[in-house]
Amino acid sequence: MHSLYSEIEWDDYNSGKNLVKHNVTDDEIGQVFENPYVIFRHKKYQDRRIILGETNGGRYLFMSVQHKSETCCRPIHARDMEPYEKKQYLKIIGHGRV
């Protein structure tokens, strides 16, 4: 799936939500889109995507976003990647071993 999100849709509900739950800042979510990331379709929801990516500080994040358009998404959930997710991400983007 190819999409290049350049816009993030924030509102009162999703802004700051992941900081409380998973210690992930809105800024870190934005940084993922500045670096190589991969997108998968969500298994349950047609309008959502799973994104694996890395922040500027080297933090590996798993994110669920609502796909609004080819350039816009709305973050739903963000957390640190599980080890198997990080391994999959690094393999896809062509980096070495974990």
Q: Which domain holds residue 59?
A: 7-93
How many separate domains does the chain show? 1
Within-domain flag for 1 = no
Is residue 98 assigned to a domain? no
Q: Is 52 within 8 Å of 33 (Cβ atoms)?
A: no
Q: What per-residue confidence (pLDDT) applies to 3?
A: 59
- CATH code, domain carrying 74: 3.10.450.530
Is residue 54 one of the residues assigned to a domain?
yes
| pLDDT at position 91 | 94
In a domain, 78, yes or no: yes
Residue whose C-alpha is closest to residue 3's, from 35, 45, 49, 44: 49
Position 77 in a domain: yes
The SS3 assignment for 98 reads coil
- pLDDT at position 33, please? 92
d(CA 70, CA 2): 8
Tens digit of each residue's pLDDT, the chain (98 residues): 445 888 888 877 777 777 777 889 999 999 999 999 999 988 888 889 999 999 999 999 999 999 999 899 999 999 999 999 999 999 999 875 44
Look at residue 66 in the predicted model and tell me its pLDDT.
92
User: Is 2 contained in some domain?
Assistant: no
